Amino acid sequence: MNDPTRTADLESYQRQGFGADMALPAPYALLIIDLVEGFADPEIFGGGNIPQAIAQTEQLLAHARKQGWPVAHSRIVFADDGADANVFSLKVPSMLTLTEHAPRSAIVEQLTPVSGELVVRKTLPSAFFGTDLAPWLTFHGVRTLLVAGAVTSGCVRASVLDAMNHGFRPLVVSDCVGDRALGPHEANLFDMAQKYAVVKPMAEALGLLHT
């Protein structure tokens, strides 16, 4: 069923010039954000549609590896003693439990990085802020960055904005990102599609790249 409010919103955005098409030139890379055990577990940081996003990302990762694309993963990792606590952990104190060797901080088994894939450790939402991700992508000549991970309204959105700020063209693979609540997930997909990124499900996204 069509949502008249959503249709009216989209018409308003389009009338004002948002949501333009954007070319997605090669070379490509894949960024998988925070798909760790804690975000896979609804009793810790997970829930919503994150399990489905993990399952889809497993397929996307296999495709990226087959194509030979650079692949980067991110993890939230705080010091064991919380010495690097920040405003993010003030708002979400339980983030401090994501330490280097905590099981909840480990990347889920089905997405385990292989040799040559970058693993970014961060203490803030964006995978770019204070990390080597941007220069690593630049070194590999990347122009279009496919984005998967969790959560859509938080670390995914922050990373997409910073990808754009660094001049990379974000392609958010909509069925490979998830959130613990579907309302923020859908709202942020809509907003990113209008302002910052191309947003497509995996089949359509890969079709765009191989056309």
**DSSP letters for 29-54:** EEEEE--BHHHH-TTTT--TTHHHHH
CA end-to-end span of the chain, whole Å?
A: 31
**CATH class assigned to 27-139+148-209:** alpha beta
Structural contact between residues 63 and 181, judged by C-beta atoms closer than 8 angstroms:
no
Strands 169-178 and 118-122: unpaired
Q: What are phi and psi of 61, to 5 degrees?
A: -65, -40
pLDDT value at residue 202: 98
Going residue by residue through the chain (211 aa), what tens digit of pLDDT does each one get? 467 777 888 899 999 999 999 999 999 999 999 999 999 999 999 999 999 999 999 999 999 999 999 999 999 999 999 999 999 999 999 999 999 999 999 999 999 999 999 999 999 999 999 999 999 999 999 999 999 999 999 999 999 999 999 999 999 999 999 999 999 999 999 999 999 999 999 999 999 997 6
pLDDT at residue 41, rounded to an integer: 98
Residue where the block lists tokens 């063209």: 169
pLDDT given at position 88: 98
User: Smallest Cα–Cα separation from 77: which of 51, 38, 132?
Assistant: 38
Instruction: Return the number of other C-beta atoms located less than 10 Å from residue 36's C-beta.
Output: 27
Q: How far apart are CA 48 and CA 50, in angstroms?
A: 6
Q: Among positive and negative, which fits the CA dihedral 179, 28, 210, 198?
A: positive
Residues noted as catalytic: 155
